[in-house]
Amino acid sequence: MSDFHKPAHSIDEQIATLCSRGLAIPDEARVRHYLANISYFRLSAYTRPFYQPGLQEHRFLEGTSFEDVLRLYVFDRELRLLLLDAIERLEVALRAQLTNTLAEHHGPHGYLDPEIFDTRYNHGWLLDKLDPDNNRKKKNKGDKSQPDIEPFLKHYRKRYTAAPNQPPIWMAMELLTFKEVSILLENLRRSEDTQRIERHFGWKMPVLRSWFRSLSDLRNVCAHHGRVWNREFGSRPEMPRKVPAGWPSIPGSIETGSHEHPEQRLDPRRRLYLQLVVIESLMQVVSPTSQWAERLVTLLDHYPQVSRPHMGFPGHWDTEPFWREAVMNAREGAKA
17-39 residue pLDDT tens:
999 999 999 999 999 999 999 99
Cβ atoms 90, 136 nearer than 8 A? no
Cβ atoms 99, 170 nearer than 8 A? yes
Count of beta carbons in the 10 Å neighbourhood of residue 102: 25
Cα separation of 86 and 216, whole Å?
12
pTM more than 0.85: yes
- Residue 294: which pLDDT band, with cuts at 50, 70 and 90? very high
Q: If you compute the radius of gyration of the chain from its CA atoms, what whole number of angstroms results?
A: 24
Per-residue pLDDT at 287 exceeds 80 = yes
Closest to 208 measured CA to CA, from 118, 90, 319, 126? 90
- Residue 40: which pLDDT band, with cuts at 50, 70 and 90? very high
Mean residue pLDDT of the chain comes to 93
Contacts of 169 (CB under 8 A, 6+ apart): 98, 99, 102, 103, 108, 109, 110, 111
Q: Give the rounded percent of residues in the chain with a pLDDT score beyond 70.
A: 96
Handedness of CA 216, 275, 187, 101 (dihedral sign): positive
107-159 residue pLDDT tens:
999 999 999 999 999 999 999 999 988 766 655 555 565 667 889 998 988 99
